[in-house]
Amino acid sequence: MEFVTENKAIFQGLRAQYPEFRYRKYSWRREDALLVLSFTYELAPGDSITTSIELSLPEGVLDETIRVHEDYIFRIGLAEAISYWKAHCSPVVHIDCGELSPAELSWWRDTWYDGMGEFRYRNGLLDVSKEDWVRFADNDSGTHARSSFSVRSPAPLSGNLIAFTGGKDSTLALAMLNDSALGPNETFFIQTLAPSREKIFDVLGVDYPETVIKRTVHPRLLELNASGALNGHTPFSIIVAFLGVFTASLRGLKYVIVANEQSSNQPTVPGTQINHQYSKSIVFEKRFQEYSKMVWPHGPLYFSLLRPFSEIGVAFMLKQYERAMPYISSCNVKDKTGLWCGKCAKCLFSFLLFSATWDVVFATKMFGVNMLDHAEHLELLNELTGIAATRPFECVGTTQETLAILARIFFASRESRHSPLLKDFWEQHQDMLFTPTFFASLACEFHEHAIPEESFVHLLKHVQDESIYG
CA atoms within 13 A on the CB side of 186: 23
pLDDT of residue 360 exceeding 70, the answer is yes
Q: Is residue 176 part of a domain?
A: no
| One domain for residues 116 and 264 | yes
Q: Which of 347, 360, 353 is nearest to 415 (CA)?
A: 360
pLDDT band of residue 148 (cuts 50, 70, 90) is: low
Query: What range does the domain containing 416 cover?
Result: 331-445
Mean pLDDT of the chain: 91
- Determine the pLDDT at residue 193: 61
Q: Is residue 92 part of a domain?
A: yes
Q: Is residue 312 part of a domain?
A: no
Listed in sequence order, the residues at least 6 apart from 145 whose beta carbon sits closer than 8 Å to its beta carbon are none
- Determine the pLDDT at residue 299: 95
CA dist 43 and 57 (Å) reads: 31
| One domain for residues 388 and 275 | no
- Determine the pLDDT at residue 327: 93
Q: Is residue 179 part of a domain?
A: no
pLDDT of residue 1 exceeding 50, the answer is no
Mean pLDDT value across residues 188-214? 87
Tens digits of residue pLDDT in 426-465: 988 988 988 888 999 999 999 999 999 999 999 999 999 9
pLDDT of residue 370 exceeding 50, the answer is yes
| One domain for residues 41 and 123 | yes
| One domain for residues 294 and 338 | no
Tens digits of residue pLDDT in 219-274: 999 999 999 899 998 999 999 999 999 999 999 999 999 999 999 998 888 888 88
- Determine the pLDDT at residue 156: 87
Tens digits of residue pLDDT in 394-422: 999 999 999 999 999 998 888 899 999 99
- Determine the pLDDT at residue 111: 96
- Determine the pLDDT at residue 143: 34
The DSSP-derived string for 420-434 is: TTTHHHHHHHGGGPP
| One domain for residues 242 and 348 | no
| One domain for residues 24 and 91 | yes
In this structure, of 22-36, 122-136, 185-199, 353-367, the range with the lowest mean pLDDT score is 185-199
| One domain for residues 299 and 340 | no
Q: Is residue 108 part of a domain?
A: yes
CA dist 217 and 232 (Å) reads: 14
pLDDT band of residue 4 (cuts 50, 70, 90) is: low
Q: Which residues pair with 190 in a beta bridge?
A: 213
Structural domain ending residue among the three candidates 304, 339, 374 = 304
Tens digits of residue pLDDT in 26-73: 999 999 889 999 999 999 999 999 999 999 988 889 999 999 999 999
- Determine the pLDDT at residue 460: 97
| One domain for residues 281 and 367 | no
| One domain for residues 373 and 300 | no
In the three-class reduction of DSSP (H, G, I as helix; E, B as strand; rest coil), residue 225 is classed as: helix
pLDDT band of residue 139 (cuts 50, 70, 90) is: low
pLDDT of residue 339 exceeding 80, the answer is yes
pLDDT of residue 336 exceeding 90, the answer is no
| One domain for residues 295 and 372 | no
**Burial state string for 134-145 with b = 16 or more CB within 10 A and e = fewer than 16:** bebeebeeeeee
pLDDT band of residue 144 (cuts 50, 70, 90) is: very low
- Determine the pLDDT at residue 389: 87
Residues making up the chain, counted from first to last? 470
Q: Is residue 388 part of a domain?
A: yes
CA dist 211 and 161 (Å) reads: 9
Q: Would you say the C-alpha torsion 196, 200, 202, 203 has a positive or negative sign?
A: positive
The number of domains in the chain is: 2
Pairing relation of β-strands 34-44 and 20-31? antiparallel
| One domain for residues 293 and 405 | no
pLDDT band of residue 142 (cuts 50, 70, 90) is: very low
- Determine the pLDDT at residue 146: 44
In the three-class reduction of DSSP (H, G, I as helix; E, B as strand; rest coil), residue 421 is classed as: coil
In the three-class reduction of DSSP (H, G, I as helix; E, B as strand; rest coil), residue 41 is classed as: strand
pLDDT of residue 333 exceeding 90, the answer is no
21: Cα separation from own chain's centroid: 25
| One domain for residues 294 and 344 | no
Listed in sequence order, the residues at least 6 apart from 263 whose beta carbon sits closer than 8 Å to its beta carbon are 277, 310, 311, 396, 397, 398, 401
Q: Is residue 119 part of a domain?
A: yes
What amino acid occupies position 421? L
pLDDT of residue 108 exceeding 50, the answer is yes
> Within 10 Å of residue 425's Cβ, how many Cβ atoms?
20
pLDDT band of residue 469 (cuts 50, 70, 90) is: confident
- Determine the pLDDT at residue 32: 83
pTM: 0.94
CA dist 229 and 239 (Å) reads: 22
Q: Is residue 188 part of a domain?
A: no
CA atoms within 13 A on the CB side of 203: 16
pLDDT of residue 130 exceeding 80, the answer is yes
CA dist 459 and 173 (Å) reads: 11
